[in-house]
Chain A
Amino acid sequence: MNDKPSGESKGKPVGADLIIPVTSIAFCAYYFSTITEVPWTAQVSAVLVGSVLILLSTFFVIKTLRDVLRGRATLGFSRLIEPVSYVRKRSALLALTLGYIFAIHLLGFTLTTFVFLAAAMMLLSNGRRKGFIVILSAILAVGGYLLFVIAFETRFPEGALEHFLKEMF
C-alpha cells in the first residue's frame, strides 16, 4: 500500500508546520479584539505575551516561505496525514469520539462507553474478534461504573441506566 501522497516528491513538505503559527497569529488577533474595551492593566500582560507570539510566529512563517521559494521545501501537508492508509480509520475514530461526547450526557457513562469501545475496537481491528471485543467492552464499561461511580462516587455522566441502577440499589 502506498503511504506517501502523490505530488510531494520535491523538498520537505512543511505546510503542516505552519498550522500552529498561523493559528497563533489568528488567535492573538481575535484575543486582542476582545480586550479593546478593558482597562489598560487588564490588557498589558496579554498584549506583551501576544506580541512576542506574533513576532515569533511571523518569523517562522517567513523562514518557512523562504525555504519554499528556494525549492528546499514544499507547502505539502503530508506530515500531518502520514501514513495515508490510516486517514480513513483516524477520521472514523474522530467521528466516533465526537459521537461519544454528544451521546454521553444523554445515555450516560456505562451504555455510551460500551457502544463506543465496541465500535472503535471493531473499527481498528477491521472487524476481527467481534465476540471478544463485545465482552471486553462490556467488562470495561461495567468495571468503570463500579469503580468510579459506585466505589469512588465520582461525578460521571449519568443516563437512564445509571438512574435505574441507583433506584434499584
Chain B
Amino acid sequence: MEIQWGLFATEFARTFSFWWVILPAILLGLIVGAIPGFSAANTIIILLPLTLSMDPELGLTFMVALYASSRMGAGIPAILVNIPGTAGAAATPLDGYPMTRQGRAQQALAISFVSSVAGGLITTLLALLLMPWLSQVAYYLHSVEMIVIMIFGISLIASIAARDTLKGLIAGFFGLMIGYIGADVVYETPRGTFGFLELYDKVPLIPALVGLFAISEAFSVIEGESILSERGRLAMQKAGWAQTWEGVCEAASCWWHIVWTSFIGLVIGVVPGAGAAIAAFVAYQQSRTFSKTPELYGTGHIKGLVAPESANNGVTSGTLIPLLVIGVPGGATAAIMAVVLQYHGVSMGPELFTNQPHLAYGPFTAMAVTYAIMILTIMPLARYMSRITVVSTVYMAPIIISFTLVGSFVPRAYVFDMYLALVFGVIGYVARKTGYHVAAILIGVILGPLLENYFLRALRISQGDVMVIFSSTVGNILWVLLVLSLVAPWFLDWRKRQRADREG
C-alpha cells in the first residue's frame, strides 16, 4: 500500500460535505458516552436499521463520528463527578476529579477536550500514514504475547496505587478473580457464580463500573454540602471564559505529551481486545514514570489528565486499522462496523484499499473531520458544563444513584444487574474509605476474562505446558519490558534521592 496524498485530499473534502451527518452523531455520541451504560457500541446497535439503510460511506461516517465523540463524552462525568461514562475513561478522574474539587473543572474540561481532539487528530493522521506497518502488529501478537500484555495491565495497578502498592495489587487481583466468575469458555462450566444464572456470562462490566465509581461516590459525597473544597467553591464563583482559555493554554503547553501518549493509544488500539482502558492506564503510568514531578500525579496534575485522554482517543483510530487492513476488528464498535460493511457486500482486507479506497480511507478522514468539528462545538460548553459542580450533593447524590442504576439495567435488561451494581457500590465504598483503588478493581474485572481466554488458548496449543508463556521471542521481550517498567519507577526514585542527598 502506497501513501496516496491526492486521494487523502479528495477524501477530506468529501467528508466535510457530510457535516450534516457528523453533527448529530457528535451530539448523540457525547450524550451516550457521558452516561454509564450507554456505550457507542450499544447505540450503534440500536441505530443499525438507520445505518444499514444509508449509503455505506455515509453510514460509516455516522458510526465513526458517534464512536469518536462518545470517547470524548465519557471523560466529562469522569472529570465533573468522578464517574467515567465508559471503562475507557476510568483513568481520567485520577487527576481530572481533584482538579474539579479545587474549583478548576472548567480548565480540566478544556484540557480534556484539547487532549482528546489533538490526540485523536494526530493518531488519525498517523494511522493514515503508518497503516501498512501498524497493521502488522496484530500478526505478531498471539495468545502468549497477549498474556504478557494483560499482566502488564495488572502491573500498572501497583504503580497507580502508589501510596500503598500492596493494597493496589490486592485490589487488582481481587478484580481479576471477580472477572473469572462465570462459565469457562472451553467447557462452559459455571464457576464462582453463587448459583446465579445471570452470572454465567461473566460479570457484566457496566454494573461493575456503575457500582465501583458512581454508587460508591454518591454514598461518599453526601458527607459534604458540595463536592468542591472551600477554595474550589470560591474559585467556581469567579469562573468565566478566561478559565476555559487557561485550560486550552495549559493543554497546549503539553503538546509533546499529547503526541507520545496518543501514540501509545494508537499502538494499543491496533491490538485486538486490548482496548481504551488499558491504553489510558498505560499512558498514565508511562507519563508518571518519566515525569520530573511524579508526586503530583493524583493531585490534579495537568499531565495526569492529558495522558489518559490523549491515549483513549488514540485507541479510536487504532481499532479501525486491523479491521480495514486484515479484517479483524480491534474492538466491539469496530466489530459492529464490520457487520454493516459486510451487509453492504464490502469485503475487508488489502483488496479494499485497491478496489474501494474511499471506503478504506473514509473512516479515518471521517474521524479527523469529526474531531475538527467537535472542538469547535464542545469548547464553548466547558463553562456551562462545569456549573454542575456547584449543585448541592443533596440533589446530586440521589440523581447519580437512580440514573446510573437504571443505566446498569440497560445492556441486558436484568433487574439483577441493578442489585449487582449496588453490591459493587458497597465494595467500592469500602475500597474508597480504606485506600484500595476502585480503578484497580475495575481494570481487574475487565482483564480477568481476557487473561483467562488467552491463557486457556495458549495451554491448548501447548497441550497443557504452563511454560508456554515463555516460549515466544516477542513475548519474552515483552516480559523484559514488563519487569523494566516495574523496576524503572523504583530506580528513578532511588536516583533522584541519591542526587538530592549529594546536593543536600
Name A's B-contacting residues (CB within 8 A). 16-17, 19-21, 23-24, 27-28, 30-31, 34-35, 37-42, 44-46, 49-50, 52-53, 56-57, 59-60, 63, 79-80, 83, 86, 89-90, 93-94, 97-98, 100-101, 104-105, 109, 113, 116-117, 120-121, 124-125, 136, 140, 144, 148, 152-157
A128 to B413, CA, bound (A): 36
Chain B 163-195 residues near chain A, CB threshold 8 A: 166-167, 169-171, 173-174, 176-178, 180-181, 184, 186-187, 189-194
B413 and chain A: residue at smallest CB distance: A155
The B contact surface, by secondary structure, is helix
Q: A30-B192, A45-B180 are contacts. A104–B406 as well, Cβ < 8 Å?
A: yes
A26 to chain B, nearest CB (A): 11
| Contact of B177 with A89 in the complex, beta carbons under 8 Å | no
Write out the residue numbers on chain B whose beta carbons fall within 8 Å of the beta carbon of A53. Answer: 170, 173-174, 176-177
Q: A19-B430, A20-B436 are contacts. A101–B191 as well, Cβ < 8 Å?
A: no
A17 to B431, CA, bound (A): 8
What would be 5 A-B contacts, judged by CB atoms less than 8 Å apart? Answer: A86-B222, A93-B397, A100-B401, A120-B402, A152-B38
Whether a CB of chain A sits under 8 angstroms from the CB of B456 is yes
B19 to chain A, nearest CB (A): 22
Write out the residue numbers on chain B whose beta carbons fall within 8 Å of the beta carbon of A109. Answer: 406
| Contact of A97 with B401 in the complex, beta carbons under 8 Å | yes
A51 to chain B, nearest CB (A): 10
A144 and chain B: residue at smallest CB distance: B403
Write out the residue numbers on chain B whose beta carbons fall within 8 Å of the beta carbon of A56. Answer: 166, 169-170, 173
Name B's A-contacting residues (CB within 8 A). 38, 46, 166-167, 169-171, 173-174, 176-178, 180-181, 184, 186-187, 189-194, 215, 219, 222-223, 393-395, 397-399, 401-403, 405-406, 409-410, 413, 415, 418-419, 422, 427, 430-431, 433-436, 448, 451-452, 455-456, 459-460, 464, 466
| Contact of A124 with B406 in the complex, beta carbons under 8 Å | no
A-B residue pair count with CB separations less than 8 angstroms: 173
A153 to B167, CA, bound (A): 42
Write out the residue numbers on chain B whose beta carbons fall within 8 Å of the beta carbon of A28. Answer: 177
Q: Choose among A104, A105, A154, A157 the residue with the greatest number of B CB atoms under 10 Å from its CB.
A: A154
| Contact of A41 with B406 in the complex, beta carbons under 8 Å | no
| Contact of B398 with A41 in the complex, beta carbons under 8 Å | no
A49 to B181, CA, bound (A): 13
Write out the residue numbers on chain A whose beta carbons fall within 8 Å of the beta carbon of B410. Answer: 154-156
| Contact of B430 with A20 in the complex, beta carbons under 8 Å | yes
| Contact of A120 with B397 in the complex, beta carbons under 8 Å | yes
B219 and chain A: residue at smallest CB distance: A90
